[in-house]
Structures are given as structure tokens and as C-alpha cells.
Chains A and B, each alone.
Chain A
Amino acid sequence: METLVVVVLLTFLAITAIGIIVLRDLLGAVILLGLYSFIAAGAFVVLDAVDVAFTEAAVGSGISTILFLGALSFTKHEQKKRGHDSFVALLFVVVTGALLIYGTLDMPHFGRIDSPAQTHPDLAVRFIEQSGSEVGPPNIVTSVLASYRGYDTLGETLVVFAAGIAVLSLLGLKRRRPEDDMPEDTPDHLPGDPLSGNANENQTHY
């Protein structure tokens, strides 16, 4: 039953991914991207990775959809049409994909209990048996993230911080803008379509 649910979710995932590639309407593609993350979060829940599912649902389908919509307001809603399809590129992608799939053949099979990560005495075995007496929290994921691998999490936090600084130095963060003080009911755009900024207006501000 569980396998069936996973297979159905992964099928939806593949269909959504193909939909994102095929769609030329970027707004639709962004919404599908949010759906993709949400389905992935569902799959993680079925696989008992609740913490990962939580993050995927909050970041993937929540925040990044909003940020993509924000990025969309800088550009047009329609993807540019290409004149031709490159067969060299297709060949390259197929070969790379085949190599990657060939690489997975060496990996332990899905859910194998005797895979190295499960049986290594310093990894899963130790975390499951010792983390209660060594670290304390009942949620082993928290023990691993915050204590056993605290140094890695420090690096992750620094990455988030660096990403924030990088985007702010690119986009800037103005203290105050006169347009923001506009009174309510400014009849400049249709309600319910907050992203329909037209291109000319975008140009005049900067």
C-alpha cells in the first residue's frame, strides 16, 4: 500500500515536471513548481522523513513560489520562442542522464536495511541507540542536525546569511520609497492581478 502511494506521488511528480518544461506561460510554471514541491513533501511524509517534508512544504511550495512571483514581476510572463531545437543539446542531455542512472546502479537499493548508512556503527546505529543518553532530544533529527553535525549546520546558516546579503547587494533594500506611500484605492491596476505591472512603468523607476 505504501509503495503504491509512493509510486502514485512520484508519477504526479514526473507529470508536474514535464508540465513545467512544456509550459511557456511562466506564471503557470511557477505555480506548478509550488505544486511540485508540495507533492515532493507528500512523498517525504510517506517515507517517514517528516522534518524534510516540513521544510519542503514551507520553503519549496511557500516562500520560493512567492519569491519566483516577485522575480516574475521584473520580466515578461511568456517564455521566448526559440527558432530551432538543438539535437546536440538533446544528445548531451540523454548521455548525461544515462551516465547518472548508470551511477545509481552501484548504490544500495531503495530502503535496504543493510545499506552502509544503516549499518555503520558511527552513523544510524549510534544515533538511534546513543543519542538519547548523549544529547537528549527525542527527535533524533534535531540531535544530529544541532549537536552531532552542529558544525555543518553553522555552515548552512552562513550560506543562508550569505545568500541574503548577495541578493540584497544585487537588488538593494531601499529605506523608503514615495510610491509606497500611495493612498488606498489607487486605480492603476485591476484588483486580483497584483503582478500585472506593465513594462514601461518598470523602466521609468530605475
Chain B
Amino acid sequence: MKLYPRQRHRVLQVVTKLLIPFVLLFGLYVQFHGDYGPGGGFQAGVIFAAAFILHGLIFGLQRTRSVLSPTALRILMSLGVLLYAGTGLVTLLMGGNLLDYDVLAHDPLHGQHWGIFAIELGVGVTVAAVMVSLFYGFASKR
């Protein structure tokens, strides 16, 4: 994929610059509002990744890489899985079953809320990092 930025794409660049903050905000909304409406970690991760992919397509891979380096992506990728599995481990250590969030707080409903929050965040981080690094992998090898 040829990803060199061009002067002629000025309109695209300006529109993208305006668009990306809203895409990221929508990703956060989908992530943290998934309990109440449609959405959740997976969808939010994909939307978040889409913002970075859009940036990479319009401004060139090099500039996106300076924002979000491949090393950081690799760490984030594993961090999400660790957050998910770690939540399961914490519930085990606190005397519950694996991923039984009731034990995370005094009130079972609060525990459930915390647990779902943590694991959805883990899913979102992993999915976003995997999607962006897949894009890097395909786009940088020509």
C-alpha cells in the first residue's frame, strides 16, 4: 500500500483531522456505555483502531507510527489479555470462582459492575492494538 501523504489531498487531511477526535470519542462512548446501550469492548476497540488506521491512510504510516509505535502496540496487546485474565485471577484469590465478579466488592452488583468494566477494558485494548498492528503489518510490507 502506498501511504505517502500528498499536498493534493489537503481536503482529505483537513477533514480527517476534524473527524479523528470524534471517532475516538465515539469509541470511548461505546466502550464505557456498553452496559446501557449496544456496544462493548470489541466494538469500541475496532472503532478506536479505525481512527488510527484512518490517520495512517491519510497522513502516511510514518506519522502514525510516531504517535503509536509498534512496540507500544505489542505491549498494549498483551496488557489487555493480562487485564482480563488478571481479573479472573483476582476473583479466584478473593475466594470466588474464576470471573465470578460478585466477590470484587461488598455489594455483589457493585462487584459485577467493576468486573465487567475491567474485562471490557481488557477486550477493548487488545482488539484495538491487534487491529492497528495488523494494519501496520499489511501496510508497511510492500
Residues of A within 8 A of B (CB): 50-51, 53-55, 58-59, 62-63, 66-67, 69-71, 73-74, 133-139, 141-143, 145-147, 150-151, 153-154, 156-158, 160-161, 163-165, 167-168, 171-177, 179-182, 184-186, 188-189, 191, 194-197, 201-202, 205-206
List 11 other contacts, CB 8 Å, given A55-B46, A150-B115.
A54-B39, A66-B57, A67-B138, A73-B1, A74-B141, A136-B113, A142-B35, A156-B42, A179-B142, A189-B2, A194-B3
Q: Are B140 and A173 in contact (CB under 8 A)?
A: yes
> Which residues on A sit within 8 Å (CB–CB) of B141?
74, 171-172, 174, 205-206
Whether, in the assembled complex, B43 has its beta carbon less than 8 Å from a beta carbon of chain A, the answer is: yes
Q: Is the CB of A164 within 8 A of B134?
A: yes
A-B contact list, 30 entries, CB within 8 Å: A55-B43, A58-B46, A63-B53, A67-B135, A137-B116, A138-B35, A139-B34, A139-B35, A142-B34, A142-B35, A142-B116, A145-B40, A146-B115, A150-B99, A150-B115, A151-B99, A157-B81, A157-B84, A161-B77, A161-B130, A164-B126, A167-B134, A173-B73, A177-B140, A180-B65, A184-B5, A188-B2, A194-B3, A195-B2, A206-B141
In the A-B complex, the 8 residue pairs with the smallest Cβ-Cβ separation, listed nearest first, are A70-B138, A164-B130, A137-B35, A150-B99, A171-B137, A50-B38, A180-B62, A58-B46
CB distance A154 to B85 under 8 Å?
yes
Which applies to chain A's interface (DSSP): helix, strand, loop or mixed? helix
B interface list, Cβ under 8 A from A? 1-9, 30, 34-40, 42-43, 46-47, 49-50, 53, 57, 60-62, 65, 69-71, 73-74, 77-78, 80-81, 84-85, 88, 98-99, 101, 108-109, 112-113, 115-116, 119-120, 122-123, 126-127, 129-131, 133-142
Q: Are A180 and B99 in contact (CB under 8 A)?
A: no
Residues in A whose Cβ lies below 8 Å from that of B35: 136-139, 142
Chain A residues with CB below 8 A from B130, complex form: 160-161, 163-164
Q: How far is the CB of A147 from chain B (nearest CB, A)?
A: 6
Contacts between chains A and B (CB distance < 8 A), count = 185
Are B127 and A197 in contact, CB atoms less than 8 angstroms apart? no
**Interface of chain B, main secondary structure:** helix
Contact residues in B for A69 (Cβ distance below 8 Å)? 1
Q: Please, how many angstroms separate the alpha-carbon atoms of A156 and B126 in the complex? A: 11
Instruction: Give, as a whole number of angstroms, the nearest-CB distance from B45 to chain A.
Output: 9
A185 to B80, CA, bound (A): 39
Give bound CA distance, A35 to B81, whole Å: 32
A177 to B1, CA, bound (A): 14
Q: Are A191 and B9 in contact (CB under 8 A)?
A: yes
User: Which residue on chain B has the smallest CB distance to residue A133?
Assistant: B109
When distances are taken between beta carbons in the complex, the residues of chain B under 8 Å from A156 are 42, 123
Across the interface, do A63 and B46 meet the contact criterion of CB distance under 8 Å? yes
By a CB distance below 8 angstroms, the chain B residues around A188 are 2, 4
Residues of B within 8 A of A167 (CB): 134, 137
